[in-house]
Structure 1
Amino acid sequence: MQVALVGLGVMGKNLALNLIEKGLTLVAYDKNPDAGAELLSCAKALGLADRLHIVSDLNDMVRRLEPPRSILLLVPAGELVDKVCTELAEAGVDCDDIIVDCGNSNYKDGISRKLKYQNKFEFATMGISGGAEGARHGPAMMASGSEGGWERVEPWFEKVAASYKGESCFARVGQSASGHFVKMVHNGIEYALMQLIAEMYQLLRLGTNRSPKEVADIFNEWSEGTLNSYLLSISSHILSLETTEGEPLVDLIDNKVGAKGTGLWTAQNALELGIAVPSLVAAVQARHLTNTCDTHAAKEMTYAAKATDTVDLDLAELKDAFTLASLLAYRQGLALIKGASRAHQWKVDLSKTLQTWRAGCIIRADYLDNVAEGVEFIDSMQRESAALRKVTGAAVASGLAFPVLTATQTYIATLTTPSNGHLVQAQRDYFGEHGIKTHSGEICHLTDLVEIDEKVR
């Protein structure tokens, strides 16, 4: 079978090698001829050059493919996707051809493009996670849509994707552009988990005066049990690295965190849909705070340095707190996917979604079975819940910053203890007459219940 791939950057090149290694014949193009030459060199080194055809333009690509055509796009999100789609339409693709956007595009753009190109070709979306290593040896692939063209490529993607206990980590998770939404939320969870691990490190390093190597040993011990995950594993490795002079590698790195937008999109969409994902939002804001000195408001956001205190931590309680906080990051993400699926009528299958995350992707973890068990399992974690409260309190008392840890404790506390929302709603009605709802279900105003002095108002 022939498949075409446009975009031979890091992800594109590695996915191309994965595709031809699995037996596909690939027609590949990149506007940078050096990228094509590099891919061909890699294919020759593997003895697979006969399965690869590098073309000089999109017209040549379309001519080489036998219809119905299957074309994958791995180009930067935004205007370039539309530019390539337009050029492919002009080059002669037709209604039976499928073009799959495999980049980190905004799902809203995917919805628009499906309508825009519906009379020209089948436009589909698929989120891919796993970085260069995953793309090369087996990524997580979150596809969406019911286009007939999927039937041609789906069996191959099941082979190309990572596998977990014999099951492929490729799935069509839902309708429309839900694949890109699921990938976006995957990245939002990724932000939260990365920040949470960094906060555990901060608490152990500065709160208990442990060295990076000592923290690495703790993380490594956690990874050998039920908490085994890709992110915890690489964090342990990073913290164990030292220069030839014995200086911890982590101490040489500037304290500014970059971002490519998917975490921000997760926060924005959660706010638009009215679904609370405070751990994910806090992780986005934590990255922003590391870059405040580069903003226009830098002077207004620069304060004098403050001393911090050491804390006495029970490592077993810290592990329990981290366990629950990690599970809650996933649960918030799944709640957002479920809410979006309901709002957009995508019919997203959460079990298929979790299956794509079990191997190959950045947020893969052995405890995803616990995530799948849902709220009932979270409710059974009494020891971990007590540990999260205790550890969060000690962390805050140190004077250090723990945005995701504290947001997660606030999240679970808000959902499991009496709320203060009745006073806030009363305030809204007091100054804006927005109305209140009593316990009996009656909709009214404060003035219907009590007499309020107009002088105070």
Structure 2
Amino acid sequence: MYTAYLASIMSEQADIALIGLAVMGQNLILNMNDNGFVVCAFNRTVEKVDKFLANEAKGTKIIGAHSLEEMVSKLKKPRRVMLLVRAGQAVDDFITKLQPLLNKGDIIIDGGNSEYTDTNRRVTHLAQYGILYVGSGVSGGEEGARHGPSLMPGGSPEAWSHIKPIFQSIAAKANSEPCCDWVGPDGSGHFVKMVHNGIEYGDMQLICEAYHLMKYGLQLDNDKIAEVLDEWNKGELSSYLIEITRDILKFRDSDNKHLLDKIRDKAGQKGTGKWTAISSLEYGIPLTLIGEAVYARCLSSLKEERVEANKQLQGPSGAKFDGNMKEYIEHVQQVCYCANAFLGNIKEAFDKNPELNNLLLDNFFKNAIHQCQTSLRKVVVLGVTLGIPLPAFSSALAFYDGYRSSWLPANLIQAQRDYFGAHTYELQSEPGKWHHTNWTGHGGQVSSTTYEK
């Protein structure tokens, strides 16, 4: 009995297990190892486990397992198992296999880009077995996973104290603080990651439109645009996306030609931007720029149709840029600045006013848009004049003008809805009271009924 007990204790050596040995998974394991945690690595294709231990993990404390049963037996209690597998069915399949092997209080962590509604469902499902479930956004790509990602855990609150030491140790640091804290219950972590990715969709589209305008509007070559972005990256627009875009523009293939010009203009997507747009509709929050960024990718995917349409559909005849090149490059720079959001300033805005309804009402952002709006209008006009599509820039301007408008033509929409569907409307003089009118009344006489809602 004692020998069996001792063997059991000795086998429980890993602080956490990680399932999924693609590059992200391997890098997170190595990061955890660097921070003093013993990790048990597992992969559905078990040959990958042996290869990883023999190469990337050689000389570390990382251990492996060739089955889920073996993996679970090597974990300290409460057992912590992190999944880094493809979102969707693969996550559910592993949960189904893990659930009978785990005990009450054990923890499953999904570090993939799962839809937050799936995480809501999984938290509820596993709670009936006493198993704690965490859905965590992981941001920073392969490099971040290896040296410090941003982590957004949410789910079963009881799990946080058991994963906090690991997560906050491996996370990136900003002002000596870990870029990781508990987000909230259920699918909160994946919801935040979804919105994070949606914002990234918008940022990428804005940069692409600036590139489009400079390349085909201002007729700048790739190297010149790279020089422009290099200058931008030294100032207020300094960012990872600007930096990598500069490098992409400069990169030449083995034949010394720009690789970017050889890449097909047909963008892919994995769903987080689309989910953000869908959620914005469900919650009634107008994230128009992100929506346009998603639709821009959808439109890009219609490559064959666009090639055919290009042969048949006319644009502006003979339109070409004849303005001041330097001035317009500065306008584009200002537009990219005012259409972006900067995390440090966002935090300051909400620290000052936690009840802030919109960042545009914070003094920093208000002053920034006031300084940039003229440039935004000129750039949008230039795009329209030259026939260059600028959906994100145009959407940013339309949202700004709509948000600052004390009156919008929605009164007509309400009248139309009431006319054809008796959906009722409010009067300006009586907000909160709902009326229906018989719009087809004879001789201009109408009958109205008032409703309390």
Identify the TM-score tier after normalising by the shorter chain.
Answer: 0.7 to 0.9
Which residue does the alignment assign to 2:146? 136
Which residue does the alignment assign to 2:328? 314
Deviation, 1:170, is 1.1
Which residue does the alignment assign to 2:312? 304
Deviation, 1:38, is 3.2
Which residue does the alignment assign to 1:433? 422
Which residue does the alignment assign to 2:11? none
> CA 1:20–1:238 in structure 2 vs 1: closer, same or farther (change >3 Å)?
same
Question: Normalised by the size of structure 2, how large is the TM-score?
Answer: 0.85
Q: What whole-Å deviation, never above 9, does each CA across 1:336-387 have from its counterpart, x for those lacking one?
A: xxxxxxxxxxxxxxxxxxxxxxxxxxxxxxx322233233132223111222
3-state SS of 1:445 partner = strand
Deviation, 1:147, is 2.9
Aligned residue among 19, 34, 43 for 2:32: 19
> CA 1:53–1:244 in structure 2 vs 1: closer, same or farther (change >3 Å)?
closer
Amino acid at match of 1:31: R
Equivalent positions of 1:3-402 (< 5 A) are 3-45=16-58, 47-48=59-60, 51-91=61-101, 93-120=102-129, 121-293=131-303, 304=312, 306=314, 309-311=319-321, 312=323, 314-327=328-341, 367-372=342-347, 373=349, 374-375=359-360, 376=362, 377-381=364-368, 382-402=370-390
Amino acid at match of 1:40: L
Deviation, 1:231, is 0.7
Q: What whole-Å deviation, never above 9, does each CA across 1:179-219 have from its counterpart, x for those lacking one?
A: 00010111111111111100000001100000011111111
> CA 1:444–1:18 in structure 2 vs 1: closer, same or farther (change >3 Å)?
same
After TM superposition, the structure 1 stretch with the greater mean CA deviation from structure 2, 253-262 or 383-392, is 383-392
After TM superposition, the structure 1 stretch with the greater mean CA deviation from structure 2, 152-161 or 230-239, is 152-161
3-state SS of 1:426 partner = helix
Q: Is the 1:107–1:178 contact (alpha carbons within 8 Å) kept by the matching residues of 2? A: yes
Amino acid at match of 2:33: I
Q: What whole-Å deviation, never above 9, does each CA across 1:64-123 have from its counterpart, x for those lacking one?
A: 1122111111111112212111211222x1111111111111111111111111132111
Amino acid at match of 2:411: H
3-state SS of 1:148 partner = helix
> CA 1:66–1:371 in structure 2 vs 1: closer, same or farther (change >3 Å)?
closer
Aligned length: 409
3-state SS of 1:380 partner = helix
User: Is 1:422 equivalent to 2:435 in the alignment?
Assistant: no
> CA 1:166–1:310 in structure 2 vs 1: closer, same or farther (change >3 Å)?
farther
Amino acid at match of 2:339: A
Q: Is the 2:40–2:64 contact (alpha carbons within 8 Å) kept by the matching residues of 1? A: yes
> CA 1:279–1:96 in structure 2 vs 1: closer, same or farther (change >3 Å)?
same
Residues of 2 paired with 1:390 and 1:189: CA distance?
Answer: 24
Residues of 2 paired with 1:431 and 1:446: CA distance?
Answer: 11
Deviation, 1:438, is 1.4
3-state SS of 2:18 partner = strand
3-state SS of 2:217 partner = coil
> CA 1:379–1:398 in structure 2 vs 1: closer, same or farther (change >3 Å)?
same
Residues of 2 paired with 1:13 and 1:34: CA distance?
Answer: 14
Q: What whole-Å deviation, never above 9, does each CA across 1:409-438 have from its counterpart, x for those lacking one?
A: 111111012322122222222222222211
After TM superposition, the structure 1 stretch with the greater mean CA deviation from structure 2, 57-66 or 442-451, is 442-451
Which residue does the alignment assign to 1:2? 15
Amino acid at match of 1:9: A
Residues of 1 paired with 2:150 and 2:82: CA distance?
Answer: 16
3-state SS of 2:183 partner = strand
Aligned residue among 387, 392, 409 for 2:397: 409
Which protein has the larger Cα radius of gyration, Structure 1 or Structure 2? 2
Which residue does the alignment assign to 1:444? 435
Question: Normalised by the size of structure 1, how large is the TM-score?
Answer: 0.84
Q: Is the 1:30–1:36 contact (alpha carbons within 8 Å) kept by the matching residues of 2? A: yes
Residues of 1 paired with 2:310 and 2:217: CA distance?
Answer: 23
Deviation, 1:307, is 5.2
RMSD of aligned Cα (Å): 2.3
Alignment gaps of 5+ in structure 1: 328-366
After TM superposition, the structure 1 stretch with the greater mean CA deviation from structure 2, 77-86 or 237-246, is 237-246
Deviation, 1:299, is 10
Residues of 2 paired with 1:97 and 1:386: CA distance?
Answer: 57
Amino acid at match of 1:323: Y
Deviation, 1:453, is 6.3
Amino acid at match of 1:445: H
Q: Is the 1:22–1:159 contact (alpha carbons within 8 Å) kept by the matching residues of 2? A: yes
Q: What whole-Å deviation, never above 9, does each CA across 1:10-32 have from its counterpart, x for those lacking one?
A: 21111111111111101111011
Residues of 2 paired with 1:452 and 1:276: CA distance?
Answer: 41
Deviation, 1:7, is 1.1
3-state SS of 2:17 partner = strand
